[in-house]
């Protein structure tokens, strides 16, 4: 169940996180509240570069051998521990082909045991989230997401039409529509899953991973949904064949001290190291974000950046793409002056 917190409690917390950001000398404020000072910064770590990779549609010998080994290990797993995956293999084999297996192998740096565990978790949780009638459908708006389009349009969570300057997808969380939302936790989680699938359509993003950019300016304690937060943190780190790289939470001073302990419990050790708070004026937050591969061209207008976010337009474009539409309505890639990939929308 979502965590219950008292929104009327305006007292100063007795124990503030020791790394809460402060504005000192007019400089931008950023802090990693859960990281030790001597932790390495693995912001730019690229797991996939350590092994030979495929070119085009051709797999390397190492990749072919790895997929073969994973299949052999999978065959030895008792049916009750792989029932969701086995069902999809039987009725929708295109969803679980060699390329699908290879995504999990790559994200675990060719550790077959870890790749297999991640693969099984993914399909077990996909079954629980989308149910027996939809979990084996393609992750499209007319497939597994067909009952969740309104939640997607709501705008509490979306994927921005650019990557950051390190080439990573940006999942954007906005507290404004979230505050006005009556969405249940089970309506939010499918949106999260869908957006990560959209991110993974880009082969470079599969390699580079994704980041979270959160606007918490209007966040309130009574809207803190612990169940949703836990599900997103766990699946984002341990289910999907893509790496969670960073989480940038902006303008959270009013709420974060009260939820810091809960947030820390949700995050894995690696996620804690890459969880960053940014506070201050819009200009100071922009300056702070710029130190982490996020220029103004990668940031929405409501955080002081240049991107106009429209979830209605996003849904329309996704419907065209998923229907295989061609011509001017399609989403096309173009490189902007900052070197990010810009989505061209009509």
Confidence (pLDDT) at 328: 37
Q: What is the DSSP letter of 309?
A: P
Q: What is the DSSP letter of 4?
A: P
DSSP reduced 3-state for 192:
helix
Give dist(CA 342, CA 340) in Å, integer.
Answer: 6
Under 8 Å between Cβ of 112 and 67? no
Confidence (pLDDT) at 54: 57
DSSP reduced 3-state for 222:
helix
Give dist(CA 269, CA 145) in Å, integer.
Answer: 31
Confidence (pLDDT) at 286: 94
Residue 251 neighbours by CB distance under 10 Å: 22
Burial of 156 (0-12, 13-18, 19+ CB in 10 A): buried
Q: How many Cα atoms occupy the beta-carbon half-sphere of 157 within 13 Å? A: 23
Per-residue pLDDT tens digits for 22-37: 444 445 467 777 765 4
Confidence (pLDDT) at 1: 34
Q: How many Cα atoms occupy the beta-carbon half-sphere of 23 within 13 Å? A: 15
Confidence (pLDDT) at 330: 35
Residues of the chain with pLDDT under 50: 1-26, 28, 37-42, 44, 46-47, 49-50, 325-346
Per-residue CA distances from 86 to 128, 135, 136, 165 (Å): 15, 12, 11, 39
R_g of the chain, CA atoms, integer Å: 20
Under 8 Å between Cβ of 169 and 159? yes
């Amino acid at each position: 169940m979502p965590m219950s917190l008292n929104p009327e409690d305006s007292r100063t917390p007795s124990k503030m996180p020791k790394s809460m950001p402060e504005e000192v000398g007019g400089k931008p404020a950023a802090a990693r509240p859960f990281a030790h000072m001597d932790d390495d910064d693995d912001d730019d770590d690229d797991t996939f570069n350590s092994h030979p990779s495929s070119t085009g549609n051709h797999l390397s010998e190492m990749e072919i051998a790895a997929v073969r080994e994973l299949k052999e290990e999978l065959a030895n797993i008792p049916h009750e521990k792989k029932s969701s995956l086995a069902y999809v293999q039987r009725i929708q084999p295109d969803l679980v082909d060699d390329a699908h297996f290879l995504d999990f192998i790559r994200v675990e740096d060719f550790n077959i045991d870890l790749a297999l565990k991640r693969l099984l978790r993914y399909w077990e949780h996909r079954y629980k989230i989308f149910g027996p009638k939809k979990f084996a459908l393609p992750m499209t708006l007319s497939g597994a997401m067909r009952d969740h389009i309104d939640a997607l349009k709501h705008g509490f969570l979306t994927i921005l039409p650019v990557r950051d300057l390190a080439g990573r997808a940006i999942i954007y969380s906005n507290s404004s529509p979230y505050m006005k939302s009556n969405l249940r936790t089970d309506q939010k989680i499918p949106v999260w899953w869908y957006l990560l699938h959209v991110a993974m359509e880009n082969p470079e993003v599969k390699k580079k991973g994704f980041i979270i950019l959160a606007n918490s300016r209007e966040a309130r304690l009574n809207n803190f949904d612990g169940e949703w937060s836990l599900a997103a943190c766990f699946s984002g780190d341990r289910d999907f064949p893509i790496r969670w790289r960073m989480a940038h939470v902006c303008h959270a001073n009013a709420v974060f001290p009260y939820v810091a302990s809960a947030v820390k419990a949700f995050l894995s050790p690696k996620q804690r190291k890459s969880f960053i708070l940014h506070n201050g004026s819009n200009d100071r937050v922009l300056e702070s974000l710029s130190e982490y591969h996020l220029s103004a061209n990668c940031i929405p207008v409501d955080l002081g950046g240049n991107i106009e976010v429209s979830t209605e337009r996003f849904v329309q474009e996704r419907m065209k793409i998923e229907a295989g539409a061609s011509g001017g309505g399609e989403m096309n890639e173009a490189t902007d002056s900052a070197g990010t990939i810009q989505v061209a929308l009509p």
